[in-house]
Structure 1
Amino acid sequence: MADKWKHTALLVIDMQKDFIHEDGLIRVDGGKSIVPSVMKAVEVARHRGILVVWVVREHDPLGRDVELFRRHLYSDGKVGPTSKGCVGAELVDGLVIREGDYKLVKTRFSAFFATHLHSFLHSAGITSLVIIGVQTPNCIRQSVFDAVALDYQPVTVIIDATAAATPDIHAAKYQAKQYHHEVLYPSMAPTGQGIHFGKYSWNNKNDPCFEANTGY
């Protein structure tokens, strides 16, 4: 099964406590609701032998590597969002980096901007991407734009494993059809519901990506 998926990677973006927890410093309101779907997507990826890449923000405690518009959050001795070594930079409970996974630190919206992600994926033979996490109009969108520009194909976003501040903002980014990527809706699966890595659903036998002997 691993050979079938050896050219695919799952990018899990910014599923950290400062973005997801109720008391997170820059909480994304819709983030908490997608944690079960993100966990399921990671489970499916691992079962299929898909490379899991954890993309996280870990900032200098003084905010020297943060966007200018956020730098005030690190001033006057404040512990800014996702500061390296702080609790807010940790993954939310239930999400764990395991042996064989890869962790990538970014300091901007896109997972590709000023990082070695593209060279790492290229050296690993990755040509297609599945993207999940937060938040839709910022880090998800920018990462998708860059992935498309770098000729990853297909680039798939799992809509029930991504989130924004509000459902309307989340939905609008997909309805705009700006990405040139696949958007997969569990509610539209012909049979049942599930986390998607194919045209329909991981538990739909009509999906060419479905593994009949395992249910994945």
Structure 2
Amino acid sequence: MADNRNRTALLVIDMQKDFIHEDGLACLSGGRAIVPSVIKAVQVARQRGFLIVWVVREHDPQGRDVELFRRHFYASGKVGPAVKGSAAAELVDGLEIKEEDYKLVKTRFSAFFDTNLHSLLQGAGINNLVITGVQTPNCIRQTAYDALALDYPSVTVIADATAAATPDVQVANIFDMMNVGVATPTLQEWCELNA
């Protein structure tokens, strides 16, 4: 069991004020409701000795590193979502990066796209990934699918520690991921499996 724990990483994706707070520039309906579940998942991961990877978006103030379809949010002096160094790009209250954790900055949906995540996980001997955060049809799903494509043998998305714009979108995406081999337990089920 101890060996398996050393081979597990919890990815916490985009739990930043701009995506979770009601006044955030890219607020996701449903995001606030999962904050307690994400906090609990982090606590359990810490107790079990899992590597915690905080995956965050941080963008150039002019939006030069943003996807083409989002650049209008940064045009003509506008302040877009998750600008590097802004308070809005910080993690929501209750979530904190500790010294033993790893912070990974991404500029696209997948935590693997154009980042060092895969080499970090390989170097740490990680082969079990557990994913929490927002938003399920975009960043969560793309990260999970890329993990499958990279042959991680165990990919888990905690169903009630992730969120989408509507419950229907959440359910549909969880169903799709489950159908390709991603484990989709509830937080309680995941905690019981990792007791």
The whole-number CA distance in structure 2 between the counterparts of 1:62 and 1:195 is 43
Cα deviations by residue, 1:86-129 (Å, 9 ceiling, x for unpaired)? 11100000100001000000000000000010001100111110
Change (3 A) 1:61 1:123: same
Distance of 2:189 and 2:27 partners within structure 1: 24
Runs of 4+ in 1 over 6 A off after TM superposition: none
Question: Which stretch of the first structure deviates more once superposed, 36-45 or 170-179?
Answer: 170-179
- Give the equivalent residue in structure 1 for 2:181: 180
Measure how far apart 1:56 and its partner are: 0.2
In the alignment, is the contact (CA less than 8 A) between 1:56 and 1:103 conserved in 2?
Answer: yes
Q: Is the partner of 2:171 in helix, strand or coil?
A: helix
Write the distance in 2 (CA, Å) between the matches of 1:175 and 1:117: 26
CA distance in 1 between counterparts of 2:2 and 2:102 reads: 17
Secondary structure (helix, strand or coil) at the match of 1:54 reads strand
CA distance in 1, matches of 2:37, 2:64: 34
- Asked if 1:88 is matched to 2:88, the reply is yes
Higher relative contact order (CA 8 A, sep 6+): 2
- Distance in 2 (CA, whole Å) between partners of 1:165 and 1:83 is 22
**How far apart are the structure 1 equivalents of 2:153 and 2:37?**
23
Offset of residue 185 of structure 1: 2.8
Name the % identity: 65
Between Structure 1 and Structure 2, which shows a larger proportion of helix residues? 2
- Structure 2 vs 1, CA of residues 77 and 195 (structure 1 numbering), >3 Å: closer, same or farther? farther
- Please give the secondary structure, in 2, of the residue aligned with 1:75: helix
Residue type of the alignment partner of 1:157:
V
Partner of 1:6: 6
Check whether the contact 1:144–1:179 (CA below 8 A) recurs between aligned residues. Answer: no
Q: Give the TM-score taking structure 2 as reference length.
A: 0.96
What residue in structure 2 maps to residue 20 of structure 1?
Answer: 20
| Whole-angstrom distance in 2 between the partners of 1:174 and 1:47 | 26
Aligned length: 194
The DSSP-based 3-state class of the residue aligned with 2:126 is coil
